[in-house]
Amino acid sequence: MKLPIYMDYHATTPVDPRVLEAMLPFFTDKFGNAASRNHAFGWEAEEAVEQARKHVADLIGASAKEVIFTSGATESNNLAIKGVAEMYREKGNHIITCVTEHKAVIDTCKKLEKQGTRVTYLPVQKDGRIDLDELRSVMTDKTILITIMSANNEIGVLQPIEEIGKIAKEKGVLFHSDAVQAVGKVPFDVSKAKVDLVSLSGHKIYGPKGVGALYVRRRNPRVLLSEQISGGGHERGMRSGTLNVPGIVGLGKATALAHAEMATEGERLRGLRDRLNEKLHTNLDEIYINGSMEHRLPHNLNISFAYVEGESLLMGINDVAVSSGSACTSASLEPSYVLKALGAGDDLAHSSIRFGLGRWTTEEEVDYVVEKLTTVVRRLREMSPLYEMAKEGIDLAKMQWVTH
């Protein structure tokens, strides 16, 4: 077993060697510009791009013409949300999203709010999912877009997107989903989900960084977007800029592999994830799973280890790469807003660890992580005043804390 162990596959994934192999010729020999229409170099690049487009479309049950390549999911989310807000301004100015969305969605909505768009941020229930009745109740005749993620990047919780899609259709409202964490990991079909716009990313599915895609429905309804990057009119005019041919080829190969291997790989990862979960629960008391276990990505686990602070926990398992919702590990020095939204209390957000298993995770690694974590949690609890107080029967929630 090689150390350090990588168990942070929600953050990013390594490029699969088969993906890299497919990409390499397009840096050197096959370097053509896919927009060069009158020579073999251009045709070769264009053909590779179109094949990749087909692979991406196949993975999500779309047609190739509905796939727009971008620089990544952040751009896809920006293009989808801003593009709809601008294009459908005549129709309405209300967007519905959710508090646990990725910042690429939340901050895009915040920006639009400054420009006069009205945004409703739906809360989530204790399990991390939105309440569909609440969604129905906040819709108005000015609502133009619902944007709700498929799977959350921290807690792996799957939103009821088929039901959301149905509600959106009934009301004639467009539905966008940031499906970065879900596509290639769990079955995803644009027809079943009745979704109109879908963001996805290369580097979350063993493809390269710096490439992503946006699915834009062409029929029932035909979705129009106001372009956010103007120029030569590439990608049906929705996203100008010379195509990143090696990146796109890599994304295409990555989606083809995910399509072929998702079913078996998903089951394998679910087995490993459940093993991790069960062993941790056997070894340690007072550990809490954040978010629904039933509606969850098979390779995700997010657990709070009560009375222990997340960053100190990470420090004790420094040969294991995972991430924490603790304030100390975030750039903003705030604990995870996703975990706070679950209503479990900030203290549990500070004590949380996110595990993301992936293509190269082994049983041996899972067992190592369990042993290591168990030792460190026990050690840190021995030096935790909160653990001591809890054992003495003091109700920590009722304490008057001296904040600073």
Q: Shortest approach of other proteins to residue 349 CB, angstroms?
A: 9
Q: Which is nearer to other proteins, 58 or 346 (CB)?
A: 346
Sign of CA dihedral 358, 362, 363, 364: negative
Our finding on whether 285 is near other proteins (CB under 8 A) is no
Our finding on whether 394 is near other proteins (CB under 8 A) is no
Q: Shortest approach of other proteins to residue 313 CB, angstroms?
A: 9
Among 311, 307, 267, which residue's Cα sits nearest to residue 284?
Answer: 307
Instruction: Tell me the C-alpha distance between 260 and 263, whole Å.
Output: 8
The question of whether 98 is a catalytic residue gets the answer no
Our finding on whether 11 is near other proteins (CB under 8 A) is no
Q: Shortest approach of other proteins to residue 174 CB, angstroms?
A: 38
The binder of other proteins chosen from 90, 385, 393, 395 (CB under 8 A): 385
The binder of other proteins chosen from 24, 132, 229, 396 (CB under 8 A): 396
Instruction: Tell me the C-alpha distance between 115 and 108, whole Å.
Output: 11
- The stretch among 70-78, 79-87, 359-367, 394-402 that binds other proteins (CB under 8 A) is 394-402
- Residue 37, exposed/middle/buried by CB under 10 A (0-12, 13-18, 19+)? exposed
Q: Shortest approach of other proteins to residue 374 CB, angstroms?
A: 17
Instruction: Tell me the C-alpha distance between 146 and 96, whole Å.
Output: 5
Our finding on whether 307 is near other proteins (CB under 8 A) is yes
Q: Do residues 263 and 192 make contact, with C-beta atoms less than 8 angstroms apart?
A: no
Our finding on whether 38 is near other proteins (CB under 8 A) is no
Q: Do residues 125 and 102 make contact, with C-beta atoms less than 8 angstroms apart?
A: no
Our finding on whether 229 is near other proteins (CB under 8 A) is no
Our finding on whether 384 is near other proteins (CB under 8 A) is yes
User: 303 by DSSP, 3-state: which?
Assistant: strand
H or E, element range at 212: strand 212-216
Quick note: the x/- pattern for other proteins over 320-359, rule CB under 8 A, is ------xxx----x-x---------xxx--x---------
The binder of other proteins chosen from 40, 224, 260, 383 (CB under 8 A): 383
61, 65, 73 from 79: Cα distances, Å:
21, 17, 10
DSSP 100: T
Q: Shortest approach of other proteins to residue 331 CB, angstroms?
A: 9
Instruction: Tell me the C-alpha distance between 115 and 365, whole Å.
Output: 49
- CA dihedral (133, 138, 142, 144) in degrees, to 10, reads -60
Phi, psi at 138, each rounded to 5°: -95, -5
- The stretch among 143-151, 247-255, 293-301, 308-316 that binds other proteins (CB under 8 A) is 308-316
Q: Which is nearer to other proteins, 132 or 390 (CB)?
A: 390
Q: Shortest approach of other proteins to residue 312 CB, angstroms?
A: 5
Catalytic residue among 328, 386, 389, 396: 328
Q: Which long-range contacts (CB under 8 A, 24 or more apart) does 388-397 make?
A: 390/306, 390/307, 396/347, 397/345
Q: Which is nearer to other proteins, 3 or 402 (CB)?
A: 402
Q: Which is nearer to other proteins, 138 or 390 (CB)?
A: 390
Q: Which is nearer to other proteins, 165 or 310 (CB)?
A: 310
**Amino acid at site 374:** T
Q: Which is nearer to other proteins, 107 or 311 (CB)?
A: 311
Place of tokens 């056997």: 282
Q: Shortest approach of other proteins to residue 397 CB, angstroms?
A: 9
Instruction: Tell me the C-alpha distance between 385 and 347, whole Å.
Output: 14
Which residues are part of the catalytic machinery? 328
Binding site for other proteins (CB under 8 A): 307-312, 315-316, 326-328, 333, 335, 345-347, 350, 382-388, 396, 401-404
